[in-house]
Amino acid sequence: MRVAVLISGSGTNLQSLIDTTTDDPSMMAEIVLVISNIPGVEGLNRARRAGVLALEIDHTKFKTREEFENKMLEALDRTQVDVVCLAGFMRVLTKNFVSKWRGRLLNIHPSLLPLFKGLHAQRQALESGVRVAGCTVHFVEEEIDAGAIIVQESVTISVGETEESLIEKIKKVEHTAFPKALKLLATNQVYLDKEIGKAKWLSNP
Ligand code: GRF
């Protein structure tokens, strides 16, 4: 399976996807393209160091969301991508993009969904007083952070936990959760039933 990763920043999740797919052929996945909407971010260097095609598609250079997305859609087509992973990609995708890639589009979010959707999920968790937090990898739907869940990993919130320490703690588990979810999809152990918008499991993960 040929995989593109869309990023906007440091790309530590991208790095874990590159490392695991390179080291483990049983993942049945290869990262072939990285796109960042922010020029010059560290994630682009990570891709280039790994010999992966890395494109900057700066959203501020386009008049509309559609034109920006069309540029990405062209690159995905050209590179013959099968699956797209959103790994810290900070743009909301339109219905057009999501419907084209539905079932083949994954996102990682730093909370145990359906709790704490949207921005600053770790801060939301801390403020709510929950004692367990975590991350979720899910199929992307038009509604933000709402698609069928593939993998979740939890962490315990410590006494004196800060937003910064929780961000780091959750990132650690993200780095195993995303490769796990990609492997489940690439090896056909899970797929999205598009009629009902739910995950269908073919074996117990
Ligand atoms: C991750 O915490 C992810 O859940 C969120 O953005 C962050 C990206 O981090 N959507 P990185 O760029 O992979 O280091």
- pLDDT, tens digit, for every residue of 96-106? 999 999 999 99
Domain co-membership, 119 together with 185? yes
The atom of ligand 1 lying closest to the CA of 135 is 4
Domain co-membership, 1 together with 95? yes
* 107 bridge partner residues: 86, 138
86: part of which helix (H) or strand (E)? strand 83-86
Using one digit for the tens of pLDDT, what is the confidence trace for 11-25?
999 999 999 999 999
CA-to-CA distance for 166 and 116, rounded, in angstroms? 14
| Amino acid present at 112 | L
- Residue nearest to ligand 1 atom 5, measured at CA: 88
Task: List the CATH number of the domain containing 74.
Answer: 3.40.50.170
Domain co-membership, 65 together with 117? no
Domain co-membership, 114 together with 82? no
Between the CA of 80 and the centroid of ligand 1 the distance, in Å, is 25
pLDDT at site 205:
83
pLDDT at site 102:
98
CA-to-CA distance for 142 and 12, rounded, in angstroms? 25
pLDDT at site 69:
98
Tell me, rounded to whole angstroms, the distance of Cα 108 from its chain centroid. 4
Domain termination site, one of 55, 71, 101: 101
Query: What does DSSP assign to residue 2?
Result: E
Domain co-membership, 112 together with 96? no
Give the ipTM. 0.98
| Residue pair 6/87 in contact by the 8 Å Cβ criterion | yes
Between the CA of 135 and the centroid of ligand 1 the distance, in Å, is 10
Pocket test for ligand 1, best of 107, 108, 153 (most atoms within 8 A of CB): 108
Domain termination site, one of 63, 80, 101: 101
**84: pLDDT confidence band, cut at 50, 70 and 90?**
very high
Pocket test for ligand 1, best of 6, 167, 174 (most atoms within 8 A of CB): 174
Domain termination site, one of 59, 83, 101: 101
Tell me, rounded to whole angstroms, the distance of Cα 156 from its chain centroid. 22
Per-residue pLDDT at 28 exceeds 90: yes
Task: Report the chain's C-alpha Rg in angstroms.
Answer: 16
| Number of separate domains in the chain | 2
Per-residue pLDDT at 62 exceeds 90: yes
**47: pLDDT confidence band, cut at 50, 70 and 90?**
very high
pLDDT at site 107:
98
Per-residue pLDDT at 189 exceeds 90: yes
- Give the structural domain span for 21: 1-101
Using one digit for the tens of pLDDT, what is the confidence trace for 117-145?
999 999 999 999 999 999 999 999 999 99
Domain co-membership, 27 together with 96? yes
Between the CA of 11 and the centroid of ligand 1 the distance, in Å, is 7
Identify whether 109 is a catalytic site residue: yes
pLDDT at site 203:
85
Distances (CA, A) of 27 to 55, 105, 196, 199, 200: 24, 17, 27, 19, 19
